[in-house]
């Protein structure tokens, strides 16, 4: 499925305008809360795996070490990959609220399942993947919480969240 995900995403975006789900505002908030909590959990698991697999605190293992494919690491990798499809729901809510889907959003969500799959299952577990997973879930924890509660105190951090996400 991963290799046709860009085509599936294009179809999903086209169909989103015709799919009407009741209670969209409440479901959008619930989805954002769930994604925030999920991201926090996967972030903690990634941090724990990095800590457990790094023998020494030096630059070499952080950059060069091939990680042992433990069951927890495999779970993190596969769950992270699947979450990229879950994040498509963001696009649905954007389309249904009559907002324009930006090119950055469109191409990002179109490509991340492919990139996540290839990086996860065709290259071995490189540090770059687990760090990308850690950083992505870290920022998504705050980003999705902000989306759920845009008028909360986290609003002050909006620019920082955006900068970290772009990074």
pLDDT at 60: 74
pLDDT at 69: 82
Q: How far apart are CA 86 and CA 70, in angstroms?
A: 24
Reported as a single tens digit per residue, the pLDDT across 88-114 is: 999 999 999 989 999 989 999 999 999
Calculate mean pLDDT across residues 32-41. 98
Residue 151, pLDDT > 80, answer yes
The pLDDT > 90 percentage for the chain reads 53
pLDDT at 41: 98
Calculate mean pLDDT across residues 79-95. 94
pLDDT at 120: 76
* DSSP three-state, residue 44: helix
Calculate mean pLDDT across residues 112-140. 83
Q: What is the mean pLDDT of the chain?
A: 88
HSE toward the beta carbon, residue 146, CA cutoff 13 A = 15
Interhelix angle 88-96/24-53, nearest 10 degrees: 160
The pLDDT > 70 percentage for the chain reads 95
Query: Token digits for 125?
Result: 């577990």
Residue 152, pLDDT > 70, answer yes
Query: pLDDT-based confidence at 47, cuts 50/70/90?
Result: very high
Residue 126, pLDDT > 90, answer no
Q: How far apart are CA 127 and CA 25, in angstroms?
A: 38
């Amino acid at each position: 499925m991963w290799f046709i995900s860009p085509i599936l995403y294009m179809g999903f975006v086209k169909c989103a305008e015709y799919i009407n789900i009741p209670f969209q505002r409440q479901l959008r908030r619930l989805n954002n809360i769930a994604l925030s909590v999920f991201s926090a959990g996967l972030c903690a698991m990634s941090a724990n795996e990095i800590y457990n697999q790094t023998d020494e605190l030096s630059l070499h293992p952080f950059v060069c070490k091939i990680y042992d494919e433990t069951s927890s690491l495999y779970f993190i990798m596969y769950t992270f990959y699947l979450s990229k499809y879950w994040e498509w729901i963001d696009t649905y809510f954007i389309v249904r609220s009559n907002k324009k889907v930006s090119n950055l959003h469109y191409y990002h969500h179109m490509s991340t399942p492919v990139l996540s799959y290839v990086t996860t299952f065709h290259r071995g577990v490189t540090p770059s993947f687990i760090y990308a997973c850690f950083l992505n879930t870290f920022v998504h924890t705050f980003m999705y919480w902000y989306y759920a509660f845009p008028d909360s105190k986290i609003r002050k951090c909006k620019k920082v969240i955006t900068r970290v996400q772009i990074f």
